[in-house]
């Protein structure tokens, strides 16, 4: 990284403290890897939620307190009575041996809950476990760290379980139900992406062979509060995540292209100034951004009239033409196609002709 990249990123963010990532936001980085705007904002630690609000396009990611309550109470229940329930489940899915009961609670260390202290303690405990110096089954809420675009991000998996042949497994406790061995696909996918972040953080600390790509997902069974566990293979998620983090590390290429002194400081800039600064950073909006990125409503507004705002499939079916009006002009023969557009234009003309012949 050229020397001035951290400085320029800091300049971009302004006076506000850098926004802390968590496993969910790190996992979301893999959602739209081609988006330069998002990459720069995340690398600079800009508070996208506040930024979007300031420019009049607030994100709509509320969380119901009922969901939070249920999530917490389920986790507490799973870990109750010295992890009795969890032990039974992990013996089944991982084949843990019965005598290996032992756990370390890393939620806080001797009343000291500062992140650095907790992380150091977690690192020591994990290394000791892997090197076989301490018999250990569970590490509860170990604080891990991961380098995300030059910033250290602290991550907190629900649990790390230690397997008897020296391999660690990440255990993720989620409160969505697995009913008759089936669960909602999008929820499982989100859990897998999030767990992959923990696996990656552990692997960078301990080495790839010490951490399994099989994570254990613990969820309520059917309509009860009884937990059930399944193994999920997150190799695919690991590859995309690793790729995206490597890309973020090369953020200097993107930063170099921005004008020197560019700033998104909410304290000193008007919404109009923020919008014009943002428009310099190229975004790649897709409808799925609405589910994962705080800037999505702004980007959607900006992408109005683009075929990609209608979805990737629609864009492809419109011959990959970037703008809706251009696609329609080509389809209706109002514009002359360039050489690259010829094939798309021929297809669009046929579509328009057939649609016109049958639509009222």
Residue ranges that bind other proteins, judged by CB under 8 A: 60, 62-71, 175-177, 179-181, 220, 222-226, 287-288, 290-291, 305, 307, 309-311, 313-314, 317-318, 324-325, 327-328, 331, 347-348, 350-355, 357-360
332: tokens are 């209706």
Contact 21, 273 (CB under 8 A): no
Q: How far apart are the first and last CA of the chain?
A: 60
Which stretches of the chain are DSSP H helices?
A: 4-13, 23-28, 36-44, 48-54, 65-94, 115-130, 185-206, 235-249, 251-256, 271-278, 289-292, 296-302, 312-317, 324-331, 342-358
- CB of 203 within 8 A of CB of 80? no
**Which residues have CB under 8 Å from 28's CB, separation 6+?**
292, 293
Closest contact distance (angstroms) between CB of 319 and other proteins is 9
Angle, CA of 76, 153 and 8, to the nearest 5°: 150
What is the smallest separation between the CB atom of 39 and other proteins, expressed in angstroms?
23
**Structural tokens at position 230:** 């399944």
CB closer to other proteins, 143 vs 331: 331
Please report how close the Cβ of residue 46 comes to other proteins at its closest, in angstroms.
Answer: 24
Is the C-alpha dihedral spanning 347, 350, 356, 358 positive or negative?
A: negative
CB of 54 to other proteins, least distance (A): 19
Contact between residue 145 and residue 152 where contact means Cβ atoms under 8 Å apart: yes
Nearer to other proteins, 34 or 305 (CB): 305
User: Which residue, 113 or 350, is less far from other proteins as judged by CB?
Assistant: 350
CB of 178 to other proteins, least distance (A): 9
Q: Which residues contact 80 (CB under 8 A, 6 or more apart)?
A: none
Min dist CB 306 to other proteins, Å, is 9
Give me the residue label for tokens 């008759």: 180
Q: Specify the residue, 262 or 324, whose C-beta has the smaller distance to other proteins.
A: 324
Question: Among residues 18 and 324, whose Cβ is nearest to other proteins?
Answer: 324
Nearer to other proteins, 1 or 310 (CB): 310
Q: Closest approach of Cβ 59 to other proteins, in Å?
A: 12
Residue among 34 and 166 whose Cβ is closer to other proteins:
34
Q: Taking the complex as a whole, how short is the minimal distance between the CB of residue 38 and other proteins, in angstroms?
A: 18
Q: Which is nearer to other proteins, 323 or 338 (CB)?
A: 323
Q: Report the DSSP pairing between strands 214-220 and 227-233.
A: antiparallel
How many residues belong to the chain? 360
């Amino acid at each position: 990284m050229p020397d001035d990249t951290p400085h320029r990123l800091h300049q971009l963010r302004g006076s506000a403290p850098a926004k802390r990532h968590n496993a969910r936001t790190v996992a979301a980085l893999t959602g739209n890897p081609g988006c330069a705007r998002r990459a720069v904002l995340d690398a600079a630690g800009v508070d996208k939620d506040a930024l979007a609000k300031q420019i009049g396009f607030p994100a709509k990611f509320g969380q119901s307190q009922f969901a939070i309550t249920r999530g917490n109470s389920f986790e507490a229940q799973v870990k109750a009575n010295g992890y009795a329930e969890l032990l039974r489940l992990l013996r089944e899915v991982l084949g843990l041996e019965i005598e290996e009961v032992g756990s370390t609670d890393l939620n806080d260390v001797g009343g000291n809950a500062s992140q650095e202290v907790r992380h150091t303690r977690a690192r020591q405990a994990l290394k000791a476990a892997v090197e076989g110096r301490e018999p250990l089954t569970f590490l509860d809420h170990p604080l891990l760290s991961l380098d995300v675009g030059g910033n250290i991000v602290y991550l907190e998996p629900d649990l790390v379980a230690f397997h008897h042949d020296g391999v660690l497994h990440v255990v993720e406790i989620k409160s969505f139900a697995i009913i008759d061995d089936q669960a909602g696909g999008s929820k499982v996918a989100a859990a897998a992406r999030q767990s992959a972040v923990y696996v990656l953080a552990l692997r960078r600390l301990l080495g790839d062979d010490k951490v399994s790509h099989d994570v254990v997902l613990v969820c309520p069974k059917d309509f009860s509060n009884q937990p059930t566990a399944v193994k999920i293979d997150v190799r695919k998620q690991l590859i995309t995540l690793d790729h995206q983090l490597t890309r973020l590390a090369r953020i200097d290429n993107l930063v170099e292209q921005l004008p020197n002194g560019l700033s998104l400081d909410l304290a000193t800039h008007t919404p109009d100034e923020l919008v014009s600064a943002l428009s310099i950073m190229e975004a790649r909006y897709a409808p799925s951004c609405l589910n994962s990125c705080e800037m999505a409503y702004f980007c959607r507004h900006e992408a109005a009239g683009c075929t990609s705002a209608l979805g990737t499939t629609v864009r492809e079916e419109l011959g990959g033409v970037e703008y809706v009006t251009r696609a329609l002009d080509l389809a209706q023969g109002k514009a002359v196609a360039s050489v690259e557009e010829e094939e798309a234009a021929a297809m669009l003309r046929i579509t328009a002709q057939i649609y016109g012949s049958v639509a009222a």
